[in-house]
Structure 1
Amino acid sequence: MLSLVPNLNATFLFLLTLSAGAITILHSRSVSPCNSSSNASSRRAFSGDLRHVDFSWNSLRLTPDRPPPTVLRVAVFSRKWPVATAPGGMERHALTLHNALARRGHRVHVFTSAPSSGEQPPERGGGETGHPRLHFLSGAH
């Protein structure tokens, strides 16, 4: 029993040293995966209509050169569709997702409320042109 105590102490000391080294390495600035300050400073500010840009923070990499094995008919119900230059987060996500599916060859139909008065309605798309087909519901607010 007495011979186990030095082995346990040595094992504990070894694990403590190993853990401290790992924590030090993982929290250093050059190795940390959470360090995005250099990446954020290299981006330029964007101004314009977000509905007409090809980039997004949640960009989908669906390959248009390889069509899907089955063309899906997708019906989506969205409370509001992006209008004007500043769509909200969920609106932007829906726009990105549905456009990517339509570009891939799927037939996407979006059922949404009509734009408010004074807002120019977005293009309805044709479904087969690589854009979702928009259907505005009357009286849905």
Structure 2
Amino acid sequence: MSGLQEGFSLPGEYAARLVQSAGNPEAIGPLLAEDVTWRLQFPIDPDIMPSVVHGRAAMVGALDRVFSVYYQEGSLQSTVHQTISQGQSGAALWSMKGLTSTGAPFENRYVLWVKVRNGEITDAWEFAGTPFGDA
């Protein structure tokens, strides 16, 4: 893919579109560069998602595992509270709520920082603002 995604052009908008697709790894895949590097800055089982993931296919696979292991399908709702962009970098402050795989309700806050090149996310850092509970 080359060029800007249809409907948005600022890096913060890429971050927002990505988090609004939480629970749907196939919708996230087209936003990512083939050689994307994703860094997770909070603890999670590394067999489900390592702290650093390289490549679009590996990232989509990791997100599929996260969404299927930790959350009830169809229960996730993401809200973007603010985005910012500067040059090729952008960030989204967002929250996600829903049901864990055990049926417990949760709501966590996050920050996702991205770098965009040629209309694709090449780098991402994901930070959790609240504890990530065990599902």
TM category, shorter? under 0.3
Greater relative CO, 1 or 2 (CA 8 Å, sep 6+): 2
TM-score (norm 1): 0.26
TM-score (norm 2): 0.27
Compare the two structures and name the one with the higher strand fraction.
Answer: 2
Compare the two structures and name the one with the higher helix fraction.
Answer: 1
